[in-house]
Amino acid sequence: MVQIDRLAHQILVSALLVFAIIVAYMPVSATAAVYKNLYTAEVLVAGQDAGERDRGMQQALKIVLSKASGVIQLPNSDELNSVLSNANKYVATFGYSESEEMLENKAGKEVPALTLRVTFDRSAVSRMLRQTSLPIWGENRPSLLVWLVQENSRGQRSIVSHSADTPLHEALVKGADQRGLPLILPFVDVEDQAILSDTELWGLFADPVSTASVRYNPGIILAGRYYRSATNKYEGRWMLIFKGQRLNLDVRADSEASFVQQGIDLAATTLAERYALRTGEANEQPAKLIVDNVRSAGDYAAVIDYLESLTAVRSAKPIQVAGAELTVHLTIDGSLQRFQEAMTLSGQLQPKLELNALEPQGSRTLHYQLQGLR
């Protein structure tokens, strides 16, 4: 009976590995998601009086500006401080809910904290970012897959899964939200464990981590390990895998939440450097986009809506429809390369490489085909 069980296990592992290898070589594009809470933040306040509300709104606006720019540490400038002091002018909606935390009020008394949820006006946030010379990073963002293994005092290791109900899971969710990143946590089921063991994850071996990540099709991969030292520090390392490159970060933190946040900050900074539009690039350049496979009014509207949702696009004006081909005049901020990188995130419009290759050097005409905007 034991031999049969072992044989069955070996067959299952072999089948999963073969499947993973096949999938690994399938042509897939990096997953992106529309991060819907980009202009929303939640903060704790000690009451609903005007003073606490204004303080909370300023704190919430700082979080939103950080998320929408990709800048972890906002500059301490007079211009930015002036914007923050008038945070309540840019609020679209706000509301309160109960929390399990305690805060000290103005009288120095510990009181039950409330969660203040604030959503700011999208156009106002974009104006603020330009006014304060901060980068602009839109809602369409690569998804972040996090593999994290912890080792306890007895040397036992466990990998955080998407279904975990622990403070560590909560720290990952909150940390990703603070930086505006769509988060994926693995199932850690038999398929994952057949490809990536806790020992391999603890060693941060890039190949099995990458192979196990294929089923999730993430835009960026963050793998980490940590333990609690004799001095009550959380020590470990993060490894970031993005566009075939690896970055490592050694961390020694005072809390699990701090350890997690430093890893997520590494991912957010890396992505912002590639996709956020910097002030110096905002120079309104023209371009022409020819999109094939536009076969209905719904396709037409979806293409224009999608283009106008991109950070780099100031305007998208249709100028011609010929059969299934839609020609759009674009006004974009930044380079054509930055615009094309933004387009690859969703994979909804695919480049027609053979036609783009025929364009003369210096041409600002791009050829794409509609895939999945309907």
Are residue 261 and residue 309 in the same domain, yes or no?
A: no
Same domain flag for 271 and 286: no
Same domain, 172 and 255: yes
pLDDT (0 to 100) of residue 337: 87
Of 248, 275, 302, which residue sits at a domain end?
A: 275
Tokens of 272: 């912002």
- What does DSSP assign to residue 243? T
Looking at the structure, tell me whether residues 252 and 293 fall in a common domain: no
Looking at the domain assignment, is residue 308 inside a domain? Answer: yes
Same domain, 174 and 217: yes
Angle between helix axes 122-131 and 78-85 (nearest 10 degrees) is 160
Q: Considering the domain boundaries, does residue 250 fall inside one?
A: yes
CATH code of the domain in which 302 resides? 3.30.70
CA distance 65 to 130: 11
Question: For residues 85-103, b (16+ Cβ closer than 10 Å) or e, as one string?
Answer: eebeebbeebeeeeeeeeb
Write down the pLDDT at residue 348. Answer: 86
Looking at the structure, tell me whether residues 268 and 158 fall in a common domain. yes
Q: Kindly state whether residues 262 and 317 are assigned to the same domain.
A: no
Residue 137 inside a domain? The answer is no
- Write out the residue range of the structural domain in which residue 292 sits: 280-370
Considering the domain architecture, whether residues 234 and 340 belong to the same structural domain is answered as no
Domain boundary among 255, 275, 295: 275
| pLDDT number for residue 312 | 84
Whether residue 231 lies inside any domain: the answer is yes
Do both 154 and 251 map to the same domain? yes
Q: Domain check: are 303 and 211 in the same one?
A: no
In our burial notation (b when 16+ CB lie closer than 10 A, e otherwise), range 129-154 reads beebebbbbbbbbbbbbbbbbbbeee
At 4 the pLDDT is: 34
Domain membership flag for residue 222: yes
26 is written with which tokens?
């399938």
Total number of domains constituting the chain: 3
Residue 95 domain-assigned (yes or no) = yes
Residue 139 lies in a domain: no
* Domain membership flag for residue 136: no
Q: What amino acid is encoded at 44 in this protein?
A: L
DSSP 31: P
Cα–Cα distance, 45 to 103 (Å, whole number): 7
CA-CA-CA-CA torsion sign (5, 211, 168, 118): negative
Tens-binned pLDDT, residue by residue, of the chain (374 aa): 334 344 444 444 344 433 333 333 333 344 678 899 999 999 999 999 999 999 999 999 999 999 999 999 999 999 999 999 999 999 999 999 999 999 999 889 999 999 999 999 999 999 999 899 999 999 989 999 999 999 999 999 999 999 999 999 999 999 999 999 999 999 999 999 999 999 999 999 999 999 999 999 999 999 999 999 999 999 999 999 999 999 999 999 999 999 999 999 999 999 999 999 886 665 678 999 999 999 999 999 999 999 988 888 889 999 999 999 999 999 998 888 888 888 888 788 999 999 999 999 989 999 999 986 54
Residues 150, 269: one domain? yes
Q: Does 258 lie in the same domain as 155?
A: yes
- CATH number, domain containing residue 224: 3.90.950
Of 88, 103, 131, the position where a domain reaches its end is 131
